[in-house]
Amino acid sequence: MTRRFWSDSKNRSLTVMAGVFLVALLTPWSAPRVSAAVNEAFLMLGYYAREHVLLCLVPAFFIAGAITVFLNQQSVIKYLGPTAPKLVAYSVASVSGTILAVCSCTVLPLFKGIYKKGAGLGPAVSFLYSGPAINVLAIILTAKVLGVQLGVARAVGAIVFAFVIGVVMQLLFLKEDKERTTNAAMFESTDDDEPRGIGKTVIYMASMIGILVFLNWAPSGGEVVWWDFLYRWKWAIAGLFGLVLLYSLIRWFTRSELSDWVTATRDFAVQILPLLFGGVLVAGFLLGRPGHMALIPESWIANLVGTNSLGSNLFASVAGALMYFATLTEVPIMQGLLGAGMNQGPALALLLAGPSLSLPALLVIGGELGVKKTLVYVGLVVALSTAAGMIYGNLIA
């Protein structure tokens, strides 16, 4: 009876409308905290659209589309597939993520691109974690602002986690992952079939990655001189990469190939953006922007993580997994929480779980990997972050 009820699309629509009606009816919208939370939800969505969609997600969508259309599938399977040498696969995945140094949402279309192209689940997940977590400048700023010990602990933890989480995911889902890449490999081409050759493909991909990286190059606040020097010239450097990309598109690609690229890019945007924007609204409603009141006060979080207990570290890891951190914003946020009494152990736990996960990202990952794999991935990040926080907190006590 229940199955027959849900199989009818009109019944499902009626249930959704009833749920929306009950929320609208029972929510105390005039209460100051609720009205502030609603305001924060849309302010956070506006901030996200302004700061991250045009300069982060749009280039990332085009890179993901290029990976799907132009990147040789056999090359992906060779270096990142489930049968690739483990050291090679996870090193390539981790290094690639480190070079990009993007936030948890910007890495999503890139993850989807290499995963659909034949990368093994383990290396793809290592890439998914390492992109936001192993951010060179963020680690340097952590050491400068929050202390060398915490900076080193964050760097070591993030690198170890990228390998461990990827290996465990690969082992747990090895059989079905091999079947997925085997079926895809039936239609794969060889390196000799590349119409442009590997060199031109590398230049084309590198130019887009260069645009993504330098458009989002953030200042270090005077902490790292060479980084700030590149920041002053970031628009010129991104423009040079743009000229290289324009040259490659005009000289090396046909009109039909470019049409396929744009179509693939559009498909990624259609799949990801609705879930991402919905997640940003929910995250803004619950947690708000740093320093602004939403439904859950920041003071509650600080009070719950004042010790190095299992509960404090677990709460920090779970809170980090749900909160959205734009690239580098986790450092001033942690500085404020530590000043409010947060213990060093939970601080590390949040730094390891927070940048790599967020509620918007979880919705998109779930749509790609399914609920089971997503829950395992989140569980691994939370469990490892909690354990690392407790160990670190006890070592420095």
What pLDDT, on the 0 to 100 scale, is given for residue 98? 61
Strands (E), 83-173: none
In a domain, 210, yes or no: yes
What is the model's pLDDT at position 60? 75
Q: Which helix (H) or strand (E) holds 70?
A: helix 58-70
Structure-token match 């609920």, residue found: 371
Token code pair at residue 214 = 């330098």
Tokens at 10, concatenated: 């009109």
CB atoms within 10 A of CB 395: 11
**CA atoms of 124 and 107, how far apart (whole Å):** 11
Closest CA to 241 of 195, 208, 194: 208
DSSP conformation class of 51: I
Residue 385 to residue 320: CA distance in whole angstroms: 10
11 part of a folded domain: no
User: How many structural domains does the chain have?
Assistant: 1
Residue 273: give the domain boundaries: 52-396
* C-alpha dihedral sign at 96, 59, 251, 259: positive
Residue whose tokens read 């461990």: 164
Phi, psi of 269 (to 5 degrees): -65, -40
Q: What contacts 336, CB < 8 A, 6 or more positions away?
A: 290, 291, 298
40 within some domain: no
Residue 257 lies in a domain: yes
Do the domain assignments include residue 27?
Answer: no
Distances (CA, A) of 374 to 57, 122, 242, 308: 22, 13, 36, 28
Q: What residues have CB less than 8 Å from 231, skipping those under 6 apart?
A: 217, 218, 219, 220
Phi, psi (rounded to 5 degrees) for 101: 50, 60
The answer to whether residue 386 sits within a structural domain is: yes
pLDDT of residue 3: 61
Residue 34 in domain = no
Distance CA 27, CA 268 (A): 35
Spatial distance between the Cα atoms of 120 and 19, rounded to a whole number of angstroms? 39
- Angle (CA) 268-271-276 rounded to 5° is 105
Instruction: Note the pTM of the prediction, 2 decimals.
Output: 0.66
Q: Which residue type is seen at 274?
A: P
**Domain-embedded: residue 310:** yes
Mean pLDDT per 10-residue segment, the chain (397 residues): 64 82 84 85 82 76 78 65 73 68 70 78 85 70 77 88 89 79 49 62 86 77 70 90 93 89 85 74 75 75 83 90 71 68 88 84 84 92 94 87
DSSP-derived 3-state class of residue 171:
helix
